[in-house]
Structure 1
Amino acid sequence: MATILCYGDSLTWGSVPNGGRYPAHLRWPTLLNEALGGDHQVINFGLPGRTTIWNEPFLEGRNGLTYIQAALETFGPVDVLIIMLGTNDLKRHFNIGAFEAAKGVEKLIKKARMPNQQVFPYPEIVIVAPPNILSPTGEMAESFDGAVEKSQYFHQHYQKIASQNNCLFLNSAGVLQPSTIDGVHLDTKGNQQLAAALAELIKPNL
């Protein structure tokens, strides 16, 4: 039995477009577990608002770099670490693009491979390029002003970082798109599509 840690933001946590949280059985980490036969421990460690390496001025504890090693020890030993972060990096107040988000992911990779207190072996790392952002609505239209165009470059920058650091890679924009309701979060179909694509990618490595 493998332990698979899903380290992400609201797309992993299970945010419903325009508010609320999906029940566990509709979130992609749960669906991934089912797709893998239910024989593994798939842990959903998503947190709304989490970034790669940036301190969120409006929410505490959202810097993904500050907790990734603790998460690996908490749930370890972890066999597969799935990182899907970067969507929140494109919020207007951070003033960065997909290139910087990818460099943030690279710092997460290096942190995950640092020696830990428990001497756990390093996990296999899967890097998921977040889906392209559609036209955000409501309050998110302000937060993600300018992010639609920037998100189109997730794929190329994330794939390069994954290749350079010997990680598995999935371009989620190639298999799904966010809900048209808010342009950012996943609908139930998107959760299913992501789970299926990840299961196909990581099965040979379990």
Structure 2
Amino acid sequence: MEMHNPIDLLIVMLGTNDCKTRYNASAGTIAKGLAQVIQKARKNVSQPFNLLVISPIHLDEGVGDPGFDPEFDEKSVEVSKKLAEEYHKVALLHHAAFLDASAFASPSTTDREHLDAAGHAALANAIYEKVIDMQKELEKAV
């Protein structure tokens, strides 16, 4: 992975809302949307940038149960669990670094969907470490 100026970094993390039942989207379809976002970003900038793709945390079982978020169901949970694999493929195709947020954080028990404070802290630390590693790769290349 070629690194540029350390400030030339785009971090993309999206996909949870694409798991909503109304979209009926597979992980592969959602990953195609990610690829389109990357292509548009690269096309519409004046200089090259480094890219870090982050797959979102998994939705938790029962996220669509009464009292939780009716926009999701068990299929949504399964799709969310397949995003990391599909996003990793997209990252490789677009010469981007990759991080699986679900390896570092889980949804809160409060809503089975969003991070709690501890999850945010764990994910922030993982992203920080990944960016530092990317910076070290840059320094080796120079």
What is the aligned counterpart of 1:204 among 104, 110, 133? Answer: 133
Match of 1:144 in 2: 72
Tell me if the contact between 2:68 and 2:112 (Cα under 8 Å) persists in the aligned partners: no
- Displacement of 1:205: 3.2
Unpaired segments ≥5 residues, structure 2: 136-142
- How far does residue 161 in structure 1 lie from its aligned partner after superposition? 0.7
Residue equivalent to 1:168: 97
State percent identity of aligned pairs.
34
Give the CA deviation at 1:204: 3.4
CA distance in 2, matches of 1:98, 1:184: 17
Partner of 2:139: none
Is 1:126 the equivalent of 2:55? no
User: How is 1:84-123 mapped onto 2 (pairs within 5 angstroms)?
Assistant: 84-116=13-45, 119=46, 121-123=47-49
Separation (CA, whole Å) in 2 of partners of 1:174 and 1:205: 18
Structure 1 gap ranges (5+): 4-78
Name the TM-score, length of structure 2 as normaliser.
Answer: 0.83
What TM-score, normalized to structure 1? 0.58
Per-residue deviation at 1:2?
A: 5.4
1:115, distance to aligned residue in structure 2 (A)? 4.0
What is the alpha-carbon distance in structure 1 between the residues aligned to residue 80 and residue 120 of structure 2?
Answer: 19
1:23-102 equivalence runs, <5 A: 79-102=8-31
Task: Please state which structure has a larger fraction of its residues in helix.
Answer: 2
Q: In 1, Cα distance between the equivalents of 2:44 and 2:111?
A: 40
Q: CA deviation at 1:100?
A: 1.0
Amino acid at match of 1:200: E
